[in-house]
Amino acid sequence: MLVTLGLVALLAAQPAAEVRSPYLDAVRLYGSGTERQAVAALVALRLTGPDQVFAELDARVCSALGARSCAPQRLAAERDEVRAGILAVWRRLYPRALGLHIEALAACDVDRDRASADLHQAILYRLIERLGEIGRLPLAPPALAALPEAARHLLVWTLQLRADEVGLADALGTFDADRSTDVDLRLALADLDVLRSLPAWLEAAVQRRSLVSMGQREPMMAQEEARLLERAARGYTRVLAIDAACVEARLRLARVQARLGKLDAAATHLRALPRPIADTRHAYLSALFLADVEERLGRRAEAMAQYQAARRAWPDAQTPILGHARLLVLAGAHAEARAALATLVRAPGAPAPTRSDPWFGYEDGQAWRLPAAMARLQASFEAP
């Protein structure tokens, strides 16, 4: 018995260096600082379908370790040392493969190469499915058992970052987001309606309809925008029914209501947020959105105060400076407006200031979460 346990521990600790292939080498290469090289190695393989990936991650690994089957549900029938060896290799390779294909999808030019984006998305679906099967095994490493949910989020946020409306709709349908209690999937579902309500998507949607005259186009776009925003509002409301403390959902609901002209309702939601707001991004957007609502309600003093609050929350942002300066101009304070705007002007010969503004990426939905989530994934990697 002690000899068997010792062998299991030894196999679990070994990197199984004998299991090698160009694909597995690309997977092992992937990590913090080697993302570009790993994606380049993956692209050079010219994969044509998910089966190639699983022939490597599963069949090749299991065959090298002497398994009779690589189906997760049949691992229980394998010898202890074989099962432990397979799970150990999967623990090292599957998280890296997930990260590698997320990076490859993010690098795709969807407009020019839809096929490559579809390929990596199909591979990611299979990876998530297989991770779910592995995670349900009684002896599955806890890190693998927790990975499917994180993987779904990574895929959805990557598609949001790419503004890939087709891929995002497919992923949310595949993950059954409309019936899910996963707050992040439900947020993304409402975010998709907001994405579709933007002018470029609205115009394309209207143009796809036959016999639409120029005179009909603008009213049809306005009608479709309102329909999508109302549906998005219902989506964010459903998120709040699942998690009443979800600040992101309340912010986005308020923004949608403001776009619909429901300014009092938007202001109510923004003022209902608990103060102080701990997350600086949320604090910034809350103040920025409330400034916009107050201004549109004719309460300029309150709007100015909120623009200043937004500047305090995110000093590098330029949007609240522009909004505040506009209000100063409307109030006749031209000198003060010029002084505010001067902070945005680079002096001749001076280096360009480092600026960031959460508003610029706001329409990307939850894609702002992607860098931190990828960093967490990479931090979980074991030595390949």
Per-run averaged pLDDT (10 residues), the chain, 384 residues: 37 51 95 96 95 90 83 80 87 96 94 92 96 86 89 98 95 97 97 92 66 63 90 97 96 97 96 91 97 96 96 94 94 92 75 80 95 96 86
How far apart, in Å, are the Cα atoms of 258 and each of 5, 230, 269? Answer: 63, 11, 11
Length of the chain: 384
Q: What is the pLDDT of residue 2?
A: 37
Amino acid at 88: A
Q: What is the pLDDT of residue 227?
A: 94
Half-sphere exposure of 242 toward its Cβ, with a 13 Å CA cutoff?
18
Q: What is the pLDDT of residue 364?
A: 95
Q: Please name the residue that has the structure tokens 């029938």.
A: 77
Q: What is the pLDDT of residue 212?
A: 54
Q: What is the pLDDT of residue 352?
A: 63
Nearest to 115 by CA among 128, 126, 104, 130: 104
Q: What is the pLDDT of residue 362?
A: 95
Q: What is the pLDDT of residue 347?
A: 63
How far apart, in Å, are the Cα atoms of 91 and each of 83, 87, 145, 231? Answer: 12, 6, 10, 41
Q: What is the pLDDT of residue 200?
A: 81
Q: What is the pLDDT of residue 7?
A: 36
Cα 328 from Cα 324, distance rounded (Å): 6
DSSP structural state of residue 211: T
Amino acid at 78: E
Q: What is the pLDDT of residue 9?
A: 39
Q: What is the pLDDT of residue 247?
A: 96
DSSP H helical segments within the chain, as ranges? 2-13, 22-29, 35-44, 50-54, 61-64, 80-107, 114-135, 142-145, 147-161, 165-174, 183-196, 199-207, 214-242, 247-259, 263-271, 280-296, 300-313, 319-330, 334-342, 370-379
- Taking the model in full, what pTM does it have? 0.89
